[in-house]
Every structure is written in C-alpha cells, then in structure tokens.
Amino acid sequence: MMAPSRKAAGTCLAVIMMCPTGCLDLKKSYPEKRSFVLDVGAPPQETSANGAIVLKINKLRVSPLFAGRAMVYRVADLQYESDFYDEWFVAPGALVTQQVHQWLSRSAGFETVVVGTNHVEPTHLLEGTVTEFYGDFRAAPRAVLSLELHLLDAIHERQFFRRTYHQDVPLSDRSSDALARGLTEALRAVLLDVAKDIAAVELVRTPRSSRP
C-alpha cells in the first residue's frame, strides 16, 4: 500500500502535468473596445433664418465599404482593414447626417432643418452619399472623406446643385484617436463649403401649381 504522503505527491504531480504553466492564470487580457463620434462644433457665424424656408435632410447613404461601425483603414491599393476594437458609436450614415443637421440648422439660413419623417412640410431637400470615410495608412497617414450632395426644390423637384466635396487631412499617427480627429476636421471643412454653396442659392418658397 502506498504511503499517504507518496500518494498525495503523486496526485499533485499528475495535476501539474495535465495543467500547463499558463493555466495557472486563466484570465487573458484583451484590448477593450472603444467607440468614437464626430463633433464639428458650431459654425463660425450663424445665419439669420429665412422665413418659411424649411430644409429636410434625408439620411445620408454610405458606400458599403464604410457603412459599418468598425473603423476602416486602407493599407494597400486594393486592401482595406476594419478595426474590431475601435468603432464608431453609431453607424457613419447616422453620425454624419446628425453633424450635417446641426451645422446647417445654424449656418444655412433656413427657418427649420429637419431629418427624416416629420410633420413639417419641407420646401427644400438635401440628399447625398458618403463615398469615402476611412484612414489611408499606405504612406503618410491621412483621413479621407468624400461626400456627394444635391439640393432640391421639394415642391417641384428642381435641382439647385449637385456637388462632390472631398477632404484629405494629414494625421499625426496611425491611431484611431487621430483618425476620429482627422475625419472631424475633414467634415467641418466640407460643411463650410456646403454652407457657402447653399448661401449662393436663392432660397424662395415656390407655390404649388394649382390644378384645374
């Protein structure tokens, strides 16, 4: 019969042999997921409202390459990567639309600016697509943003303008923090141009055609 001390030692040895050294700490450390937003702030100069002129912004569409919440990096001419750990707080379509709404509410001279379905009848429509929204990390890192917009008369569907806005903003490094700041700066520059283009349009409320 094996002595108790030898039996205990054998059992302990068997446990150690079955369990590698790493299993003594079963907790592995993984990077925490982080969420980012855009915040373009307030326009440099607010414009007084033009009575009875109501702008409706349809939610901006986004290229399928950049429509998800994960941040996207271009690492080669034909290669993009998405970041599992660093992402946008909401999908880019909703994020950019919200920033456009806040900016134009204070800078474009409309009496009211609404998004999506609303009981207020619009006089003008703003529609568009985010075609580029990523970090270009192939060489010197930069934030890339492209936005196609067109402004319409909501009553007669007459087009006032259709423009493509593009911004490349150099980044201090290849971090997600730098990319969020860079895309914020890019969007602010785009919105400055959008507000100028809208200001150049004669915003008048055109009456509906009367039917016999």
Q: Quote the pLDDT of residue 30.
A: 73
Q: How many CA atoms lie within 13 A of 61 on its CB side?
A: 9
> Region 96-123: what's the mean pLDDT?
89
Interacting residues of 11 by C-beta distance below 8 A, sequence separation 6+: none
Q: How many CA atoms lie within 13 A of 39 on its CB side?
A: 4
List pLDDT tens digits, range 11-63. 444 443 444 545 545 555 677 899 999 999 999 887 777 678 899 999 999 99
For residue 198, with 0-12 CB atoms within 10 Å meaning exposed, 13-18 middle and 19 or more buried, which class applies?
Answer: buried
Tell me: pLDDT of 127 over 50: yes
Percentage above 90 pLDDT, the chain: 65
Residue bearing the bigger pLDDT, 17 or 98: 98
Closest CA to 145 of 126, 161, 160, 129: 129
Maximum average pLDDT range among 27-41, 84-98, 111-125: 84-98
Helices (H) and strands (E) in the chain, counts: 3, 9
Give me the residue label for tokens 């059992």. Answer: 11
Fold of the domain spanning 35-199: Rossmann fold (3.40.50)
For residue 196, with 0-12 CB atoms within 10 Å meaning exposed, 13-18 middle and 19 or more buried, which class applies?
Answer: exposed
Alpha-carbon span 9 to 108, nearest angstrom:
81
Amino acid in position 114: V
- The first and second tokens of residue 85, run together, are 């750990």
What is each CA distance from 41 to 7, 76, 94, 155, 190, in whole angstroms? 72, 33, 17, 32, 13
Alpha helices, DSSP H only, in the chain? Answer: 4-18, 92-107, 176-199
Closest CA to 62 of 187, 166, 147: 147
Q: Quote the pLDDT of residue 199.
A: 87
pTM of the entire predicted model? 0.81
- Contact status, residue 116 vs residue 104, Cβ threshold 8 Å: no
Tell me: pLDDT of 165 over 90: yes
For 32-52, b/e burial (b = at least 16 CB within 10 A) is eeeebebebeebeeeeeeeee
